[in-house]
């Protein structure tokens, strides 16, 4: 089977020092091709460390990661870049503000490919970009030559999502990509993400602090806590899930109160 397979992943920061942090304590997680998984968990649970391990930003101490049947655990971030799409929290991070929308897209298309044609903005490419932008439904197809710095946060995250998926990656990683937006833009990007992931059958791992989003979107919800997966919810059980139900599930497993700082505010 292809898709994403994560096996026995461990990561400790500053090992053997007083600052030692065991960020991942044995994560096993498999995503079937086209599966959409949402990840929730309190601050410091290890969610970003997990995504960063898949992206190659950090190297796990133990365990392996297979993508499309290939062991990518030891590949550099650059080596896996063409097969992985990523959108992060900060709308300013995913795009280059001083370049135009079309230039940003051309860069995204060149990612992981050899130099040479990097910057070629042919008429055919512009047409393709306009077509894809039109599908976002935000009118960005009319702004190909506008500098990205002129766009709103929501428009930039929509463009980031398109850039991250332009090469139809084997996995899409989203790390709180709606968290920095105002509620209206956050809802718009969440809905767009859902539509995009389904339309292109993207294997997707999405971290969110918005429990309502995590419950509503995706095929499976994963709850992380202190470097471990506490539980997952899928199928009819997930469809019937409520924020209160999620809180109760956490308290059943942990035997402690569900104090979920930011998440409480995020609905």
Ligand X SMILES: Nc1ncnc2c1ncn2[C@@H]1O[C@H](COP(=O)(O)OP(=O)(O)OP(=O)(O)O)[C@@H](O)[C@H]1O
Minimum CB separation of residue 160 from ligand X in Å reads 18
- Say how far apart CA 125 and CA 113 lie, in whole Å: 16
Question: Least distance (Å) from ligand X to the CB of residue 125?
Answer: 36
Cβ-based nearer residue to ligand X, 43 or 239: 43
Question: From the list Mg ion, ligand X, none, which binds 44 (C-beta under 5 to 8 Å, kind-based)?
Answer: ligand X
Q: Which of 38, 42, 48, 213 binds Mg ion (CB under 5 A)?
A: 48
Task: Select 167 or 208, whichever has its Cβ closest to Mg ion.
Answer: 208
Name 58's Cβ contacts closer than 8 Å, sequence gap at least 6. Answer: 11, 49, 52
What's the closest the beta carbon of residue 242 comes to ligand X, in angstroms?
22
**What are residue 228's DSSP bridge partners?**
225
Q: How far is the CB of 87 from ligand X (least distance, A)?
A: 15
User: Of Mg ion, ligand X, none, which one does residue 49 interact with (CB within 5 to 8 Å by kind)?
Assistant: ligand X
Rounded to whole angstroms, the Cα distance separating 117 from 70 reads 28
Residues in contact with ligand X by the rule CB under 6 A: 13, 21, 23, 41, 43-49
Report the partner that residue 13 touches, choosing among Mg ion, ligand X, none (CB closer than 5 to 8 A by kind). ligand X
Name which of 14 and 235 has its Cβ closer to ligand X: 14
**Which H/E stretch holds residue 231?**
strand 228-234
Q: What is the DSSP letter of 5?
A: E
Distance CA 216, CA 221 (A): 10
Give the torsion sign (CA, 154, 156, 160, 161): positive
Spatial CA neighbour of 172 closest among 153, 196, 138? 196
What's the min distance (Å) between Cβ of 77 and Mg ion?
17
Q: Nearest distance from residue 128's CB to Mg ion, in Å?
A: 33
CB of 43 to Mg ion, least distance (A): 8
Per CB under 5 A, does 160 bind Mg ion?
no
Q: What is the tally of helices (H) and strands (E) in the chain?
A: 10, 10
Q: How many angstroms from the chain centroid is the CA of residue 207?
A: 6
User: Considering beta carbons, is residue 46 or 94 the nearer one to ligand X?
Assistant: 46
For residues 21 and 32, which CB has a smaller minimum distance to ligand X in the complex? Answer: 21
Question: Which residue, 197 or 224, is less far from ligand X as judged by CB?
Answer: 224
What is the H or E stretch that residue 265 is in? helix 261-265
Q: Which partner in Mg ion, ligand X, none is near 231 (CB below 5 to 8 A by kind)?
A: none
Give the residue closest to Mg ion by C-beta.
48
Within 8 A by CB and 6+ apart from 193, the residues are 161, 174, 177, 178, 206, 217
Question: Interface with Mg ion by CB under 5 A: which residues?
Answer: 48
């Amino acid at each position: 089977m292809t898709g994403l397979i994560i096996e026995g992943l461990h990561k400790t920061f500053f090992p053997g020092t007083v600052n030692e942090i065991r960020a991942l304590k044995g994560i096993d997680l498999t995503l079937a091709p086209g599966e959409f998984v949402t990840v929730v968990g309190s601050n410091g649970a290890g969610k970003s460390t997990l995504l960063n391990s898949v992206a190659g930003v950090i190297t796990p101490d133990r365990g392996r990661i297979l993508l499309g049947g290939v062991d990518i655990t030891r590949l550099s971030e650059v080596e896996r870049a063409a097969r992985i799409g990523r959108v992060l929290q900060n709308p300013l991070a995913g795009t280059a503000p001083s370049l135009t929308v079309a230039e940003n897209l051309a860069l995204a298309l060149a990612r992981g490919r050899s130099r040479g044609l990097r910057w070629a903005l042919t008429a055919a490419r512009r047409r393709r970009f306009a077509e894809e932008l039109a599908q976002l439904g935000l009118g960005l197809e009319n702004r190909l030559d506008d500098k990205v710095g002129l766009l709103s946060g929501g428009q930039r995250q929509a463009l980031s999502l398109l850039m991250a998926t332009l090469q139809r990656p084997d996995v899409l990683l989203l790390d709180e990509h709606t968290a920095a937006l105002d509620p209206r833009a956050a809802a718009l990007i969440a809905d767009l993400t859902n539509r995009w992931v389904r339309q292109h059958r993207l294997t997707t791992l999405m971290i969110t602090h918005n429990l309502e989003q995590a419950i509503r979107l995706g095929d499976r919800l994963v709850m992380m806590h202190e470097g471990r997966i506490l539980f997952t919810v899928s199928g009819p059980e997930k469809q019937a899930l409520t924020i209160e139900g999620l809180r109760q599930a956490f308290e059943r497993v942990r035997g402690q109160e569900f104090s979920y700082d930011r998440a409480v505010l995020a609905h």
